[in-house]
Amino acid sequence: MLFSFEHFTTCAFAGVLQVSGMRVYTSGDVEAVNGTDVRLKCTFDSSAKINPELVIVSWTFKPLSGGRVDSIFHYQQKPYLPPDGIFKKRVHWAGDIMGSDASIILREVKFIYNGTYTCQVTNPPDVHGPVGEIRLRVVKTASFNELLYLVLAIGGGIAAVVFCLIVIVSCRRCKRKHRQRQLEGDEEVPRKERKDPTAW
């Protein structure tokens, strides 16, 4: 389920009410298995036209155990990855500014990645407002629901393949039977005797 964080500013001019705002959507609570990759989804909706030259994306991280908030990613015309720290070479840009996507991917997550991640997007004149939050929980093994989804996905894929094979085999059998019937029909039709053109 996506959570929306909205900010609106209003002003009255010449009797007309103008509204501007930035909406940021995140996936809320996310669970990932230790050592796997996880996508931290963050999308946005701005009342102003998106200008890729001006849009700024900032991601921060606060450990579950508490402590200071650290900046782990910055985007301004191009992605700026963390040069050091626990997220060095672990954060990858997965967004698309023109597609209103500010997502990132964490590679090979560790237990120390447990905590709260915030996604902030500005698109002038939409430069103020709350940020989107994601609470990441790194676990040893996948939860029952995730395992169930995985089993269903694999089972569905296998069932689709088996169904396609059955259809292909059935079509081939039908074609063979049709050809066989045609051959049998041709054999049953008596051959017409050819007339002798010299016999008059």
Q: Which residue has the higher pLDDT, 127 or 194?
A: 127
Amino acid, res. 181: R
pLDDT at 142: 61
Whether 136 shows a pLDDT value over 90: the answer reads yes
Q: Tell me whether strands 70-76 and 56-63 are parallel, antiparallel or unpaired.
A: antiparallel
Superfamily for the 22-139 domain: Immunoglobulins (2.60.40.10)
Q: Which of 68-77, 134-143, 163-172 has the lowest mean pLDDT?
A: 163-172
Q: How far apart are CA 154 and CA 158, in angstroms?
A: 6
Both tokens assigned to 144 = 């029952």
Both tokens assigned to 96 = 């698309």
Helix/strand/coil for 112: helix
Are the beta carbons of 110 and 126 closer than 8 angstroms?
A: no
Tell if the pTM clears 0.75, that is, is over it. Answer: no
Q: How far apart are CA 147 and CA 90, in angstroms?
A: 25
Whether 165 shows a pLDDT value over 60: the answer reads yes
Domain ranges of the chain: 22-139, 143-182
Are the beta carbons of 95 and 42 closer than 8 angstroms?
A: yes
Segment 39-65, tens digit of pLDDT: 999 999 998 999 999 999 999 999 998
Segment 72-95, tens digit of pLDDT: 999 999 999 999 999 999 999 999
CA-nearest of 23, 12, 13 to 126 is: 23
